[in-house]
A and B are shown apart, each in its own frame.
Chain A
């Protein structure tokens, strides 16, 4: 877990590297809550939103939506309803494991970020939706919340500013779909996490019908640096349209899997050959941003990790988690593993999604098991296109179709080899 060795600016994992940074005293020695003090003492909520807007920060939860713009969707302060900030700590996208690092190693950065976000949108209650498996992160994060509250950094009248903020952790219970924004809201209300049709959008009609803004953990972790050092400083990092650093989780067949902080726009090759210590064996393919992004063959290894560059090669930045496959790994098997995942996790409200997930899973299992037929490939493409294009209540179905379609299109010869040989041509266990 390290920042760039090339002397670039880091601000996400600096404190996470310091032993004991989960304790308030250590975190404060290393700059925690300076941005919150600055904002509460000298900035109006709208000034904070303005700074974040000017920074160009885009959400790190998968969709890359401009954060400052999202905050302006909240109704004006005159609206009499309660307002909520929801921090998305569900982190369930396969191949994604960055938010957990922040929650465990620098919880005060996350708390400072969520306090700034809540201040900006005028929320006096913040819910942190944390996946149920995160027992350790929850323990550490709640201890940090307690220390912050003791010190007057949360609770009533923060730092004498008149602003109140209560933060509560809501434990999930193992459903990926609860990470979808309105799924998380249903879940907090005590219901199955079935996403809501949009509109209405959460800013107007979120938790209990009240104005709600939701952001990812890593997104808010960017905010203290922006408030403290300014939008202009921030914009110098990363690319024009994708500014800032991001946390890149590298997993699969590399020598040093882990979470690394790099500027957006860094090439996949620089990450794999730099901090990740090189590919084990020969690179065959990679998912650049979690399981809901299109798989890319090795020839794209020089692509830059930013929204625009990845879209240009037919994939997406997603959550910024790179999963690496070497040439002993089977793409069909990986597609089958993901199809099983999506079939297990679909909430079942939309028929395209429910039926599509069940059938793509069955077909991929059949092909991987050696009993597939060539026409199954057309069928997979048909099913995938039926699931994609925004026909469903939420983006889950698109997310399930994207890795499937890209695998069938870009690795059709591998699928055909399974059918021709009547078995999976790869070793049972990839060599790492």
Chain B
């Protein structure tokens, strides 16, 4: 460790020392929410929205459940849906956009047919999550944040899924797969590839 005794350099000077990369800018915001002509508030969806209101004394509180309902159906929340939700709850659009972009589970653009979420937190990192990510890149051509060329898989890395005893853990379309090895992961994914669909 270095630094003359008693020497005080301002933190900002030391942080911008040569070789230190500044933190990357954060992305997101309402402009990142994709538009889609696909959204229509049909009766089943309206019913789901109405049901979401029941537990709460205020309409706004149903927001998260309503966004889940949209995403469960469409795979993401398009801008038109977000605006419709705002009208339904009688709140400003921005209140919807800020929730949509604050919580990482909500998608604001379409993904592949299957959602693959690989935990890369401590227990999974210690027990082979990196191997899983490598095999996904080599065998399926998909990297974190991306979708495979055949549109079959969207891959995300996620933080601890509260299944550390079964590390490494993969969440495939909302179901946990524990104790994953590269072999077992390939076995689970091969049948889901384009052309292999049952």
Contact = CB atoms under 8 A, between A and B. Distances in A.
Interface of A: 82, 91-97, 99-100, 127, 131-136, 166, 168, 170-176, 178, 187-193, 208, 249-253, 257-259, 287, 291, 321, 323, 325, 329, 333-334, 337-338, 341, 343-345, 358-359, 361-363, 366, 371, 373-375, 377-379, 382-383, 386, 412, 428-430, 432
B57 A96 contact: no
A31 B95 CA distance: 46
A131 B123 CA distance: 19
Interface string B6-23: 000001001101011111
B55 A170 contact: yes
B123 A252 contact: yes
A121 B160 CA distance: 33
B165 A250 contact: yes
Interface in B56-106: 56-58, 60-65, 67-68, 89, 95, 98-99, 102-106
Given A189-B58, A192-B99, A429 B130 contact: yes
A174 B164 contact: no
Contacts of A252: 122-123, 126-127, 164, 167
A412 to B, nearest CB: 8
Given A176-B159, A341-B121, A253 B164 contact: no
A244 to B, nearest CB: 22
Contact of A362 (B22, B106, B121): B22
Contact of A94 (B68, B121, B128, B174): B121
A323 B125 CA distance: 11
Interface of B: 1-3, 11, 14-15, 17, 19-23, 55-58, 60-65, 67-68, 89, 95, 98-99, 102-106, 120-123, 125-128, 130-131, 158-167, 171, 174-176
Contact of A190 (B63, B105, B128): B63
A202 B119 CA distance: 33
Nearest to B62: A190
A246 B21 CA distance: 43
A343 B23 CA distance: 10
B103 A174 contact: yes
A161 to B, nearest CB: 23
Contacts of B103: 132, 172-175, 178, 192-193
15 contacts: A93-B160, A96-B162, A100-B162, A100-B163, A131-B162, A172-B103, A172-B105, A188-B61, A251-B165, A252-B167, A323-B164, A359-B15, A362-B20, A362-B23, A429-B131
